[in-house]
Structures are given as C-alpha cells and as structure tokens.
C-alpha cells in the first residue's frame, strides 16, 4: 500500500530520503561546517561547555489581568523553579493604547497584563529583585516606552542600570511581516530601535535591546526556511541601521539576541537552530567584519509552537510541547518557554503552567541529553538538513538583497506573500489529510471532556480605568506636558529618545499619551494589500 506523500517531506516541504549517508554531505567538511562548540561558525553551540556548564534559562511567558494578578503568577513560577521572567502584555498595551482608551474596550487584561503607567510597572514587579532575575518583555511597537518604565522602576529602587539583565523584543520588522502591531512607519521605528541599542550599549550593558523574532513569523504560517531567512535578515537590517548611525558593530552586536519557534518536525527544528548560528556567524563576518568573536554568536530564546496546539483533546498538547522542547534543547537554545496545554482555550491555569515548567525540568534533570554538547552533531540526516536549511535561507537573502533590503521588500508585500502561500499550502494538506493532526483530522473523539480554564472578568478593565483616572487627577500635569513637548522636539531632530522617554514616564505620562505624542511627529503606517 502506497504511503501518503507528506511522510517523505519536512514541514518546510524539503524532500526527505529513506536513508542518509556520507554521500548526502558532498562539499561538507567537519572542520569548516561543524567545528567545535564555542568556536566559529558555532554550528554546535555558542559556548564550549553548553549545558554541562549551565542549563538554559527556564523562562515561562506570563501575563494577564492587572499588574497584581501577573505579579502573583511571577511569584508562583519563581517559587516552582523558574529562572527568568517573561512578560506578556495585553493587546491595548501592545498597540500603545491606555486601558481607558475607547479602542481598548473589552480587551484589557485578556491576552496579557495591562500596563499603562509607571505605577502599573512598579506594581508588576513588586517585591521582585530586578537585579537578581532576568526579565524578558515581549513588546514591539511601544517597546522603548515600556523599557523606560522598567528602568524608572529600577531607578526608584536604587538599582544601577548596569546591574539589570534581560531582553526587550523590540523587533518591529516582523510586526510588518507577521504580527501587525506597529505604531509608526518603518523608518521612525528603526530609529527608535537604534536609539535603544545605543542607549543599552552605554547605560545598560547586560541588557539585550532587541530580540529578533522568528516566532511570530512561524506562527503566521511560515516554513522553517522562511522563519530562518526573514528573521536573520531582519537582524542584519538592524545591524546595518546601527552601523550607519555611527555605532561600532562590536559595541552592540554581542547584546543582540534571537527568538525562534519550535514546531513539530523534530529533526528539522534541531537543524534549524544549528543552521541559524552558522548563518549568522558567516553573514556577520562577511558583511561587517567584527573583531570581537561575540559579535558572531547567535544567542537565542525559543518557545514551543502555539499554532501547533489544538483545542481538541488538549491533553495531547503536553506531548507536542515535550517533543518541541526537546528539539530546542538538542538544537542548543539559551532560553526556553514551554506552552501550556490549555492555551488554545484561554490563558493557562496555574496547574497547566506548572506542568509546562516541569516538562523543562524533567528534560534538564532526567533525560541525560545535557551530558554532551550537540549530541546529534555528525548525524548524516541532521547535517544534511542543516545544510539544506542554510541553502534555502541564502536563496531568500539573495532575493531580499536584490529588492533593496527588508524595508523595501515589506513595502512590496514580499515576505507577507511568501508566508501567506506557505500557510495556505499547509492548511490544504491538513484538510486533505495529507498531514495528520491527531484529534483534529484523525483519531477524533466527538464527546470530549472539558478542562478547567482561566477567565478574565470585566472587573480588570474597571480597575485599570479607575486607576488611570486617579493618576491623572494626582500628577503634575504641567510638568508631564513639558516632558512630552521635549520628547516631540527631540523626535523631530536626531537626538537619542531614550532619556526623553525616561523623563516622560517619571513625570507620569501614560503609555497612550507618549505614543500619541510620537505619532504627531512620526505619522502612521498603512500596509500594502497582499494577494
């Protein structure tokens, strides 16, 4: 009986042979393409000892309701062995809107925590020692404003900026490509990103000012090849912009980090991490010739694939997440979030998120996969996949270079169209049962047992609206307005905006007020129609 065709193709559509041998590695050499861990081109890992020296950071993404609600979840996770914080913001915050904005109605606190002011940020990290944990903030359009709030909280507590460690996602190009949460046109956004890069290089040296994100590109339906290509090229675009602004590449490149999705195709995902490190090292060396070897190292966070989880038979999601997490570890991630089984239904419950964290801990302490570095290195199959992912990515690089770079490509709708086509192709395969999704198009159970879910009520929005009203009645409005005027004057020029944003948030200007002031200078953006 003939087997279904997709059994012989990766999720990216790469043909998969029945068996692999040395013949599939023609032109490949262990010395130049594989190397040793901690040495260029870093195929085997960015550190010589990898997890033998230190385990990856277990950083569960968390955020819902008010700042107090999320603070309790942070405390719960830290008590159960989480080693880093990762903040999920609600949709109004992601869009630079205050919780009392009419456009925020019905969305406050639902998909993340609502943060509109410095007071909110202070409550979010109440009794959490900012100089003893690392914090990741998944925010892009208004990233610089939220970062200023975080810095102001540290300043209030007497914590020097040089002791703060963490990551700001701050990746606007993938917003135009995939997630669609931008505030301004590309050029002003790039200017803000360069400002945060420059500020961190001088003032917050342990902070990663940009986490170049392929996660949302993959969630939008891209293949692994497209995720690699568009993510790495976005990173090269930020580097080029910073260098053009006068920064030395070695002054900031070691602070850049990446964020990848981990999907279901186990070996392709392992190979993707290995190809990403090799590609970044080679392209950075070719394009910018850094002197510091750390500028060639791709350090990354990974998150298991939310789009792979199913509302049907949600317990199956535990298995999916476990396989994806293991692929990320075998691929050599520096940080990892594991999705909870109930995330397609609602925000995760405490029990579900604890199980997701325990999944990482079992892999770390019971599987023995951390005993040796890059245990799949040298596998004919894995090395062949690594090579082919690199080749496919380079082909996209050539197309993007010919278009004049990523901003021009976005304006023409190129990456958006490529992802649209890939997502439609995958959906057709599922609908035709050419790809089996357990519990969805095969092994279906008509009468499924419901599981408990976390619900957000309207009281969250009311509390936020009341707090903002109180803040506006108490603050020095004249002083606040002065900081916004100074910010606009600086935005119209070429000064670094981070000091002005810091002064504005300390004067109790809200997120929405700051973003509205910047829109008056920078304008807004409308994306091209993609067919």
Task: Check residue 529 and report its DSSP letter.
Answer: P
Higher pLDDT: 531 or 22? It is: 22
**Residue 126 pLDDT > 70:** yes
At which of 386, 415, 431 does a domain end?
A: 431
pLDDT at 448: 77
Residue 347, in any domain of the structure: yes
pLDDT at 83: 82
Q: What is the mean pLDDT of residues 116-127?
A: 97
- Give this prediction's pTM: 0.95
Task: Residue 121: give its domain's CATH number.
Answer: 3.20.20.240
Same domain? For 263 and 201 the reply is: yes
Residue 458, in any domain of the structure: no
Q: How confident is the model at residue 6 (pLDDT cuts 50, 70, 90)?
A: low
**Residue 149 pLDDT > 80:** yes
Which ranges in 162-253 belong to alpha helices (H)?
A: 173-174, 186-203, 215-219, 224-244, 249-252
Q: How confident is the model at residue 529 (pLDDT cuts 50, 70, 90)?
A: confident
Angle at 136 (CA atoms; ends 263, 343), nearest 5 degrees: 45
Of residues 422, 414, 393, the one with CA closest to residue 223: 422
Q: What is the mean pLDDT of residues 381-406?
A: 98
Of residues 390, 366, 314, 342, the one with CA closest to residue 43: 390
Same domain? For 421 and 475 the reply is: no
pLDDT at 61: 83
Same domain? For 360 and 234 the reply is: yes
Tokens matching residue 478: 């004249």
Q: What is the mean pLDDT of residues 16-37?
A: 94
Beta bridge pairs of residue 166: 135, 207
Per residue in 179-215, pLDDT (tens digit) is: 999 999 999 999 999 999 999 999 999 999 999 999 9
Give me the percent of the chain exceeding a pLDDT of 70.
Answer: 98
Pairing of strands 257-262, 300-304: parallel
Beta bridge pairs of residue 336: 58, 302
pLDDT at 314: 94
- Report CA Rg, the chain: 23
Beta bridge pairs of residue 335: 57, 301
Per residue in 366-378, pLDDT (tens digit) is: 999 999 999 999 9
Tokens matching residue 160: 């020097």
**Residue 446 pLDDT > 80:** yes
**Residue 420 pLDDT > 80:** yes
Per residue in 462-518, pLDDT (tens digit) is: 999 999 999 999 999 999 999 999 999 999 999 999 999 999 999 999 999 999 999
Residue with tokens 């600086």: 490
Residue with tokens 């910018």: 288
Q: Is 480 exposed, middle or buried (0-12, 13-18, 19+ CB in 10 A)?
A: buried
Residues in Cβ contact with 504 at an 8 Å cutoff, skipping those fewer than 6 apart: 148, 480, 483, 484, 487, 514
Same domain? For 361 and 467 the reply is: no
Same domain? For 383 and 474 the reply is: no
Residue 439, in any domain of the structure: no
**Residue 2 pLDDT > 50:** no
Task: Check residue 353 and report its DSSP letter.
Answer: H
At residue 475, φ and ψ (nearest 5 deg) are: -75, 165
Q: How confident is the model at residue 62 (pLDDT cuts 50, 70, 90)?
A: confident
The pairs formed by 306-309 with CB atoms below 8 angstroms and a separation of 24 or more are: 306/219, 306/339, 306/343, 306/344, 307/218, 307/219, 307/221, 308/263, 308/264, 309/339, 309/341, 309/343, 309/344
What is the biggest distance separating any 2 CA atoms in the chain, rounded to whole angstroms?
79
Tokens matching residue 364: 């770390």
At which of 385, 411, 431 does a domain end?
A: 431
Same domain? For 124 and 187 the reply is: yes
pLDDT at 7: 65
Residues in Cβ contact with 102 at an 8 Å cutoff, skipping those fewer than 6 apart: none
Residue 252, in any domain of the structure: yes
The answer to whether the CB of 327 falls within 8 A of the CB of 292 is no
Residue 337, in any domain of the structure: yes
Report the distance separating Cα 113 and Cα 91, nearest Å: 9
Residue with tokens 């159970």: 445
Residue 130, in any domain of the structure: yes
Domain of residue 474: give its range: 463-522
pLDDT at 395: 98
The answer to whether the CB of 269 falls within 8 A of the CB of 327 is yes
Beta strands across the sheet bearing 85-88: 61-62, 85-88, 134-138, 165-168, 207-208
Residue 230's alpha-carbon distances to 27, 129, 237, 283, in angstroms, are: 26, 36, 10, 14
Per residue in 342-366, pLDDT (tens digit) is: 999 888 888 999 999 999 999 999 9
Q: H or E element: which one contains 152? A: helix 143-156
Same domain? For 426 and 506 the reply is: no
Residue 314, in any domain of the structure: yes
Number of domains in the chain: 2
Same domain? For 264 and 205 the reply is: yes
Same domain? For 399 and 253 the reply is: yes
Same domain? For 362 and 242 the reply is: yes
Same domain? For 189 and 308 the reply is: yes
**Residue 3 pLDDT > 90:** no
Per residue in 225-259, pLDDT (tens digit) is: 999 999 999 999 999 999 999 999 999 999 999 99
Residue 455, in any domain of the structure: no
Report the distance separating Cα 99 and Cα 510, nearest Å: 10
pLDDT-wise least confident of 45-54, 259-268, 405-414, 446-455: 446-455
pLDDT-wise least confident of 35-49, 78-92, 255-269, 326-340: 78-92
């Amino acid at each position: 009986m003939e087997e279904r065709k997709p059994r012989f193709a990766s999720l990216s559509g790469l043909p998969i042979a029945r068996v692999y041998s040395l013949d599939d590695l023609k032109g490949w050499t262990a010395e130049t393409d594989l190397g040793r861990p901690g040495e260029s081109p870093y195929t085997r890992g960015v550190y010589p000892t990898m997890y033998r020296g230190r385990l990856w950071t277990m950083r569960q993404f968390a955020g819902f309701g008010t700042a107090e609600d999320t603070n309790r979840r942070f405390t719960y996770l830290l008590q159960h062995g989480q080693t880093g914080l990762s903040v999920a913001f609600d949709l109004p915050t992601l869009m630079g809107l205050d919780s009392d904005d009419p456009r925020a109605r019905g969305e406050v606190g639902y998909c993340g925590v609502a943060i509109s002011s410095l007071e909110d940020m202070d409550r979010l990290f109440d009794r959490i020692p900012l100089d003893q944990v690392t914090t990741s903030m998944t925010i892009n359009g208004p990233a610089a404003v939220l970062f200023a709030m975080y810095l102001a909280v540290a300043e209030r507590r007497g914590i020097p900026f040089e002791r703060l460690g963490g990551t700001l996602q701050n990746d606007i190009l993938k917003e135009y490509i995939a997630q669609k949460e931008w505030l301004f046109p590309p050029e002003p956004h790039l200017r803000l990103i360069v400002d945060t890069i420059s500020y961190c290089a001088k003032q917050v040296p342990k902070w990663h000012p940009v986490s170049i994100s392929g996660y949302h590109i993959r969630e939008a339906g891209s293949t692994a090849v497209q995720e690699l290509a568009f993510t790495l090229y976005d990173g090269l675009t930020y580097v080029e912009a910073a260098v053009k602004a006068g920064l030395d590449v070695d002054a900031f490149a070691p602070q850049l980090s990446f964020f990848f999705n981990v999907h279901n195709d186990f070996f392709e995902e392992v190979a993707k991490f290995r190809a990403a490190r090799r590609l970044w090292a080679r392209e950075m060396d070719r394009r910018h010739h850094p002197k510091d070897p750390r500028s060639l190292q791709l350090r990354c966070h990974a998150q298991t694939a939310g789009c792979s989880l199913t509302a049907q038979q949600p317990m199956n999601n535990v298995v999916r997440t476990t396989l994806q997490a293991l692929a990320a570890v075998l691929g050599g991630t520096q940080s990892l979030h594991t999705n909870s089984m109930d995330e397609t239904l609602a925000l995760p419950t405490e029990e579900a998120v604890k199980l997701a964290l325990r999944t990482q801990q079992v892999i770390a302490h019971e599987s023995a996969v951390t005993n040796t570095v890059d245990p799949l290195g040298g596998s004919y199959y894995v090395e062949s996949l690594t090579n082919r992912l690199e080749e496919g990515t380079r082909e996209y690089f050539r197309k993007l270079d010919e278009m004049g770079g990523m901003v021009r490509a976005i304006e023409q709708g190129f990456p958006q169209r490529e992802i649209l086509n890939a997502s439609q192709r995958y959906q057709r395969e599922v609908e035709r049962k050419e790809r089996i999704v357990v519990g969805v198009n095969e092994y279906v159970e008509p009468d499924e047992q419901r599981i408990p879910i976390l619900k957000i009520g309207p009281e969250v929005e009311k509390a936020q609206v009341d707090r903002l009203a109180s803040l506006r009645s108490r603050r020095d409005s004249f002083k606040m307005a002065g900081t916004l005027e100074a910010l606009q004057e600086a935005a119209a020029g070429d000064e670094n905006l981070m000091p002005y944003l810091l002064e504005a948030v300390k004067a109790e200007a809200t997120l929405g007020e700051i973003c509205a002031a910047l829109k008056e200078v920078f304008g807004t953006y409308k994306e091209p129609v993609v067919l």
